[in-house]
Amino acid sequence: MILTFNILVAVSLGYVAMLFAVAFAADRRARAGRGGWLRSPLIYTLSLSIYCTAWTFYGAVGYAARSGLEYLTIYLGPSLVVIGWWWLLRKLVRIARVQRITSIADLVSSRFGKSPWIGAVVTLIAVAGVTPYIALQLQSISLTFAAFIEGMDGGMDVDFVALWTAIGLALFTTLFGTRNLDPSERHHGIVMAVAVEAVVKLFALLGVGVFVVWGLGGGIAGTLARIDASPIPMWQGEGGRWVGLTALSAAAFLTLPRMFHVLVVENDDDRHLAVASWAFPLYVLLMSLFVVPIAVVGLERLPEGSNPDLFVLALPISEGHGGLALLAFLGGFSSATSMVIVATIALATMVSNHIVAPLWLSVRGPDEVARDLRGTILLARRVSVAAVLALGYVYFQYTGSGVALSSIGLIAFAGVAQILPAMLGGITWRGATAKGAGAGLLLGAAVWAWTLFLPSFGTAIIPQPVLDQGPWGLAWLRPRALFGIEGLDPLLHAVLWSLLLNAAAFGLVSILTFPNPLERLQGAQFVNVFDQTGPARTWSRSGAEVEDLLVLAQRVVGHETALDLFQAEAEEQGKSGHLPDATPGFLQRLERELAGSVGAAAAHALVGQFVQGPGLSVGDLMAVADEAAQILEYSARLEAKSAEQERTARALREANDKLTQLARQKDAFLSRISHELRTPMTSIRSFSSILQEEGLTPAEARRFAGIVEAEAHRMTRLLDDLLDLSVLRDGQVTLERQEGTLAEVIDRSLLSAGALKGDLAVLRDPAAEALPVVTDLDRLAQVFINLVSNARKYCDADRPELRIAVQRRGPQVIVDFVDNGSGIPAPEREVIFESFARLSGRRAGTVAPSGAGLGLAICREIMSLLGGSITYLPGQGGAAFRVTFPQGVAAAAAE
């Protein structure tokens, strides 16, 4: 097989297209609810393999060629962490699920009183640490292209490869990573693509390894002999680095944003951890198994001075195995791309939630806060994806390809490891405070930047004299020898000092400062996550207008999700409709849901804007603690029972209220019928007697006769409606099931209701409406006609607009009619579905008498006959009605 540059590009593009297809298919399956196996422990374990980046894929061999066994520390640390999952990972995963954590910055910020600035600090550290790491992946892709092109005709400039890779990755990530806002919905497409890439890279590395051991090395015994004879000493006596790097990689495994994302945020089930506890170490063991043989054989066979970072690729090429080389190339490509994709998502989430959202909230006034929040966050996330990748590309351009792969990786590890003290301390020690965490993070990050990150640019940022003598001649601040302690390995020196000072500042400041109540509450919840019977409350009092909260929630988590959430809560409280009471418990749950989209700190601030009164006081905290203690003493059954009783009592109360109201209404009903019949009768009688007199002009006579006729019609209509209603109520109706599409029914209704005359703009969604339904279409049309004519009659906007939105949820069809008028005031919403509930304000100047107020009552009866419902939807801006009914298609097929 002869490889050309074009073949290489074509293969890469084909591979990327395949990944798009996989991600797309997985997303679709998940959305259709058939994604059960997408959440298997196997996929979870494979997704963890993004720990193995291009650095490990190519760099491990180079590392082994230089330092022997030391490359294994990078894998041993994480293996030990995962094997010891019962200690730490289980708790992290549980906390993240209970608190709806979206990223590592969110975890730390949420623990320390939902502090926005702690979140921002962690985010900045992560961006600083991970950007070089992303650059590293771009570098490895462009290096491997260069390795292939060497010796090909027409050497080409490969710089653009990195650029196009970055652009392609930005596209992929935006497409599959920022589509939805609630990370609890998880990124099935991306996880699946990452799992496929995990298999490809393992397969590729094993392929090259098998070829090297059995094809070139002479089997296992032969290879072992070659290793013994090799000039690389496997154990070089660097005990400090052996222990230090194992610990560092274990820390980085927990704190790298991308690892936190796949390990904790995308985790569906504690039990997946149990499988990963052996499967992930097995995966990395296999990934590192053939590293030493490849290094040894590569040093033997490849010409002097070859870059050992590329042995994985260079060996098959030089031995003339084009196919194997291509496989190795795809393996490396997979390693690089999967890491970049997940790292970018994780960083973008953090940047948008912890930097953009708080800034946005502080700039905007409270009234406009909720407007377009969702759009702003999504946009911020997309821009962050592009910005993070651009930053990586710039770093790649700036540092060039001079630095060995492994050293960039370790710099990143040391950077993100600064988050570890705050994270570990936060989940194990209730005394940790936000000020302590902040102090530790800032000090640790500063020491890391000074001793490791900035010197990595060579002398570009820190000039040589400063490196040698320290800033302003302060020798104890020399980047390579803090406090005058010289002779340490630079990496160990940086890791040791930064983490030591970080942890010390964290502990000391925590002990000296006092946490605020929210910090104490969150601290208790994090540390004692396994003892929680239920979430403790962070809202003590509430003066929140539920409808405002609904509007807010809709703008953050999306329309349907918010409505479902509120409806479920209302049901839980034993209320009907979409608006529950704003109990502290509900506010707490709502805040959690919002946190799943915008992070804990922003969610807390958002809800806080709608809840009057002070937040949490120490007194409330004590009350919460007392309450928790009491609840623990009751048995779970008792608790459930009393909740059940409360619900029943509530439902009863509501039913009773309704009955009393009904009795009152029955009285009013008769008097209304009398009124509604006498009113047209008055006109008829009066004009009839006028018409009997003489001396009318023909024009007058014609007009008066017209009025008599119109009023007679009105009476007929009223009688029809009354009859209709009583027949519907008795249930003496035979439904005629017909087949048709929803669009036809809506077309017909708009025509009958006169909505096409131009006084009401109707916004429709033809794609969603092309939905086959089997039901009584005439009755359904009757309901629609009613709603459309109501909008025509009562919508008081300057330019009346009616939006008809259609969606399918399972077997149910949902049609929403939303106008842009001023809506129906809350007190009247309860009664609009009752008979004769004509709304008070009506449009003046209409000649035709308006309806009798039976329309919505009839609609309600019809919908319940069709097995559906009609409800008023609060919080939509104008008047909004939701019609729900079974699509009926499957049922028809069964008949």
Of residues 280 through 309, those in contact with another protein by CB under 8 A are 281-282, 285, 289, 292
Residue 41 vs 577, nearer CB to another protein: 41
CB atoms under 10 Å from CB of 472, counted, come to: 7
The single-letter code of the amino acid at 353 is N
What is the greatest pairwise CA distance in the chain? 131
- The answer to the question of residue 492 lying near another protein (CB under 8 A) is no
For residues 636-675, which are near another protein according to CB under 8 A?
A: 671, 674-675
Q: Quote the least distance from Cβ 407 to another protein, whole Å.
A: 22
Q: Where is 807: in which H helix or E strand?
A: strand 801-809
Q: Which of 5, 278, 457, 836 binds another protein (CB under 8 A)?
A: 278
Residue 231 vs 320, nearer CB to another protein: 231
| Helix extents (H) in 211-310 | 219-229, 239-255, 257-260, 270-289, 291-301
Residue 320 vs 841, nearer CB to another protein: 841
Q: Quote the least distance from Cβ 528 to another protein, whole Å.
A: 7
How far apart are the C-alpha atoms of 179 and 631, rounded to whole Å? 41
For residues 5-24, which are near another protein according to CB under 8 A?
A: none
- The answer to the question of residue 844 lying near another protein (CB under 8 A) is yes
For residues 513-542, which are near another protein according to CB under 8 A?
A: 524, 528, 530-531
Q: Quote the least distance from Cβ 573 to another protein, whole Å.
A: 25
Which residue, among 515, 518, 562, 556, has the nearest Cα to 537 in the 3D structure? 518
Burial class from Cβ neighbours inside 10 Å (0-12, 13-18, 19+) for residue 227 reads middle
Q: Are 108 and 423 in contact (CB under 8 A)?
A: yes
Q: Quote the least distance from Cβ 87 to another protein, whole Å.
A: 6
Q: Where is 808: in which H helix or E strand?
A: strand 801-809
Residue 377 vs 718, nearer CB to another protein: 718
Residue 24 vs 278, nearer CB to another protein: 278
Q: Which of 102, 123, 173, 246 binds another protein (CB under 8 A)?
A: 246
Q: Quote the least distance from Cβ 506 to another protein, whole Å.
A: 22
- The answer to the question of residue 320 lying near another protein (CB under 8 A) is no
Q: Which of 637, 841, 893, 894 binds another protein (CB under 8 A)?
A: 841
Residue 612 vs 674, nearer CB to another protein: 674
How far apart are the C-alpha atoms of 119 and 109, rounded to whole Å? 5
How far apart are the C-alpha atoms of 801 and 798, rounded to whole Å? 9
Residue 233 vs 323, nearer CB to another protein: 233
- The answer to the question of residue 849 lying near another protein (CB under 8 A) is yes
Region of 233 on the Ramachandran plot (φ > 0 left; ψ -120 to 50 alpha; else beta):
beta
How far apart are the C-alpha atoms of 181 and 381, rounded to whole Å? 9
Structure tokens at 791: 């909008």
Query: Which among 199-207, 242-250, 370-378, 758-766 is the span making contact with another protein, rule CB under 8 A?
Result: 242-250
Q: Which of 403, 477, 488, 625 binds another protein (CB under 8 A)?
A: 625
Task: For 702, list phi and psi in degrees, rounded to 5.
Answer: -65, -45
Residue 566 vs 687, nearer CB to another protein: 687
Query: What does 328-382 look like in DSSP terms, one character per residue?
Result: HHHHHHHHHHHHHHHHHHHHHHHHIIIIIHHHHHHHS-HHHHTTTHHHHHHHHHH
Residue 87 vs 472, nearer CB to another protein: 87
Contacts with another protein by CB under 8 A: the residue count is: 74
How far apart are the C-alpha atoms of 487 and 479, rounded to whole Å? 12
Query: Which among 177-185, 577-585, 676-684, 866-874 is the span making contact with another protein, rule CB under 8 A?
Result: 676-684
Query: What does 172-215 look like in DSSP terms, one character per residue?
Result: HHHHHHSS-S-GGG--HHHHHHHHHHHHHHHHHHHHHHHIIIII
How far apart are the C-alpha atoms of 872 and 817, rounded to whole Å? 10
Which residue, among 397, 311, 26, 369, has the nearest Cα to 190 in the 3D structure? 26
Residue 231 vs 365, nearer CB to another protein: 231
Residue 371 vs 675, nearer CB to another protein: 675
Burial class from Cβ neighbours inside 10 Å (0-12, 13-18, 19+) for residue 483 reads exposed
Residue 219 vs 484, nearer CB to another protein: 219
Structure tokens at 860: 């309600």
Residue 508 vs 681, nearer CB to another protein: 681
- Whole-angstrom CA distances from 477 to 155, 315, 373, 450, 481 are 47, 45, 46, 9, 7
* 4: Cα separation from own chain's centroid: 42
Structure tokens at 666: 């029955």
For residues 421-450, which are near another protein according to CB under 8 A?
A: none
Q: Which of 711, 769, 816, 819 binds another protein (CB under 8 A)?
A: 711
Q: Which of 359, 474, 512, 632 binds another protein (CB under 8 A)?
A: 632
How far apart are the C-alpha atoms of 92 and 263, rounded to whole Å? 9
First-to-last C-alpha distance (Å) of the chain:
61
The single-letter code of the amino acid at 499 is L
Q: Quote the least distance from Cβ 710 to another protein, whole Å.
A: 8
- The answer to the question of residue 892 lying near another protein (CB under 8 A) is no
Query: Which among 783-791, 843-851, 857-865, 878-886 is the span making contact with another protein, rule CB under 8 A?
Result: 843-851
Q: Quote the least distance from Cβ 515 to another protein, whole Å.
A: 17
Q: Quote the least distance from Cβ 712 to another protein, whole Å.
A: 11
- The answer to the question of residue 722 lying near another protein (CB under 8 A) is no
Residue 11 vs 492, nearer CB to another protein: 492
Query: Which among 312-320, 327-335, 575-583, 687-695 is the span making contact with another protein, rule CB under 8 A?
Result: 687-695
- The answer to the question of residue 274 lying near another protein (CB under 8 A) is yes
How far apart are the C-alpha atoms of 187 and 519, rounded to whole Å? 31
Structure tokens at 29: 């399956």
How far apart are the C-alpha atoms of 540 and 526, rounded to whole Å? 20
Residue 228 vs 367, nearer CB to another protein: 228
CA atoms within 13 A on the CB side of 538: 28
Length of the chain: 895
For residues 540-599, which are near another protein according to CB under 8 A?
A: none
Q: Quote the least distance from Cβ 40 to another protein, whole Å.
A: 13
Residue 281 vs 821, nearer CB to another protein: 281
For residues 688-707, which are near another protein according to CB under 8 A?
A: 689-690, 707
Return the exposure string of 563-592: e unless at least 16 CB atoms fall within 10 Å of the residue's CB, then b.
bebbbebbeebbbeebbbebebbbbbbbbb
Q: Which of 34, 271, 653, 664 binds another protein (CB under 8 A)?
A: 271
Residue 681 vs 723, nearer CB to another protein: 681
Q: Which of 560, 643, 842, 869 binds another protein (CB under 8 A)?
A: 842
For residues 138-177, which are near another protein according to CB under 8 A?
A: none
For residues 181-240, which are near another protein according to CB under 8 A?
A: 224-225, 227-228, 230, 232-237, 239
CB atoms under 10 Å from CB of 696, counted, come to: 14
- The answer to the question of residue 712 lying near another protein (CB under 8 A) is no
- The answer to the question of residue 687 lying near another protein (CB under 8 A) is yes
Q: Which of 633, 694, 798, 895 binds another protein (CB under 8 A)?
A: 633
How far apart are the C-alpha atoms of 750 and 846, rounded to whole Å? 20
Residue 157 vs 667, nearer CB to another protein: 667
Q: Which of 38, 81, 466, 602 binds another protein (CB under 8 A)?
A: 81
- The answer to the question of residue 628 lying near another protein (CB under 8 A) is yes
